[in-house]
Amino acid sequence: MTDKKLENRKPSRLARFWKLIGPGLVTGASDDDPSGIATYSQAGAQFGLATLWTSIVAFPLMAAIQQMCARIGIVTSSGLTGTLKKHYPRPILYVMLLFSFPAIVMNIGADIAGMGAVGNLLFPSIDASFFSVFFTILLIGLIIYLPYRKIASVLKYLCIVMLVYFVVPFLYKQDFGAILKATFIPTIRFDEAFIAIIVGILGTTISPYLFFWQASVEVEEMKSHKRKLIVNKKMIGESRQDVDFGMSVSGLVMFFIILTTGTVLFQGGIHQIDTVEQAAMALKPLAGDLAYVLFAVGVIGTGLIAIPVLSGSLSYIFTETFGWEQGLDKKFHEAKGFYVIIALSLLVGLGLNYVGISPIKALIYTAILYGLTAPVLIGIILHIANNKKIMGEFTNGILVNILGFIALIIMTVAAGALIYFQF
């Protein structure tokens, strides 16, 4: 009887855990979008395993910032933009809007192009532009048609596709001693190329659009319960677990992509990867068809997760700034402006691929804009999360503050390095 009870209890625990996780997992998964995968692939191809340690360093910093954003959303029942609007000077808000719009749209454009190119690799008889248009229309339709609970559920289950990146490295012979050494003993090289890739990795993992999304989607979660939830330590604790789980998944995917390209491509003599399709193509002769197909499918899956997050975060920024009706829980006729911005961001992103802005240039411009805004936003988030007038009893603890300030310093230095290398 005891064994049977234990058997019956296990699925319920798993089910409760799966129900608990949501916004944090989706946020973490969207951090590893096709443009992020391109950055990690280049890091592995160019420097082998030398940047593996960055996934260990980035995880606590990512988690600390996203925890703060989630807590701000839960406590204030408002997105990050709404909180900025209420408590800070308007010029700060407009500067964020000015930088966020082109950065997010170019990020969307680069992701759509990457998905289209990988679709063409899997089905060579169909042109990449067809796949780009198909994915754009599909995503617009799903975001507008599906209610929030369905969107959240679809995005959460899509995260399962990221498991493919945990498999790909083991389709190739690995030196586990070298992997452990590269993971826990940081390699630092003071040359322009190495510093640039470290800055690129940081800019990709700690991205401003994730801050806005995390806070706003926590509010959506509260609304979806259709009752006034009393904020308490249990709710904050569950949110923290969700964020930590999502960020750990994100960090692991980053680790395994660098591991894959750092062994297969680097050792195969391929040291320059500019796009995800190049990474997938390069894997084929070196690691086999299965690795190639899994890598490509993962790119499409992560794009389907990331683009709704990118476009949704942009729409939350706009609608909260101007006081329009907003929310993925609302139907199109209830929040037309919100959904029109989502649709426009996808269409403009798609259009960038037809006006001479290459995905690589889009990624460079995006990195610059993210790099400039991230330190400012992290500073503001730290200020809000420590403000008792806004957060009440749910202000930052010592550890979160330490990690937050480390993230602020690192991202400020990274922004300076990015500007120096570009100009």
Q: Which residue has the higher pLDDT, 293 or 316?
A: 316
CA atoms of 388 and 110, how far apart (whole Å): 40
- Tell me the average pLDDT of the chain: 85
Angle between helices 233-260 and 2-20 (to 10 degrees): 80
Q: Which residue has the higher pLDDT, 167 or 139?
A: 139
On the question of pLDDT at 367 being above 70, the answer is yes
Burial class (CB in 10 A: 0-12, 13-18, 19+), 236: middle
Q: What is the mean pLDDT of residues 138-148?
A: 88
**Residues 6 or more apart in contact with residue 128 via CB below 8 angstroms:** 113, 116, 117, 119, 120
Q: Which of 112-116, 165-169, 195-199, 323-327 has the lowest mean pLDDT?
A: 165-169
CA atoms of 400 and 70, how far apart (whole Å): 13
Q: Is residue 3 part of a domain?
A: no
Look up residue 263 and give its DSSP letter.
I
- pLDDT tens, position by position, 211-236: 998 988 888 877 766 555 677 788 88
Return left, alpha or beta for 226; rule: phi > 0 is left, psi -120 to 50 is alpha, else beta: left
**Residues 6 or more apart in contact with residue 271 via CB below 8 angstroms:** 45, 46, 265
Residue 59 in contact with residue 232, Cβ under 8 Å?
no
Q: Is residue 9 part of a domain?
A: no
- pLDDT tens, position by position, 1-55: 455 544 455 556 666 666 666 777 788 888 888 888 888 888 998 999 999 999 9
Residue 331 in contact with residue 144, Cβ under 8 Å?
no
* pLDDT at residue number 10: 54
Q: Tell me which amino acid residue 218 is.
A: E
Q: pTM (2 decimals)?
A: 0.87
Q: What is the mean pLDDT of residues 58-62?
A: 92
Q: Which residue has the higher pLDDT, 152 or 378?
A: 378
CATH of the domain at 102: 1.20.1740.10
Range of the domain at 127: 29-422
Domain count, the chain: 1
* pLDDT at residue number 383: 93
Q: Is residue 60 part of a domain?
A: yes
Q: Looking up tokens 């204030």, which residue turns up?
A: 76
Q: Is residue 282 part of a domain?
A: yes
* pLDDT at residue number 65: 94
Q: Is residue 99 part of a domain?
A: yes
Q: Is residue 1 part of a domain?
A: no
- pLDDT tens, position by position, 66-81: 999 999 999 998 889 9
Burial class (CB in 10 A: 0-12, 13-18, 19+), 261: buried
CA atoms of 45 and 2, how far apart (whole Å): 52
Q: Which residue has the higher pLDDT, 62 or 204?
A: 62
* pLDDT at residue number 153: 77
Q: Which of 9-18, 24-33, 92-101, 189-198 has the lowest mean pLDDT?
A: 9-18
On the question of pLDDT at 388 being above 80, the answer is yes
**Residues 6 or more apart in contact with residue 325 via CB below 8 angstroms:** 319, 334, 335, 336, 337, 338
* pLDDT at residue number 255: 93
Q: Is residue 12 part of a domain?
A: no
Q: Is residue 400 part of a domain?
A: yes
Highest mean pLDDT pick, 105-114, 240-249, 400-409: 400-409
CA atoms of 179 and 306, how far apart (whole Å): 29
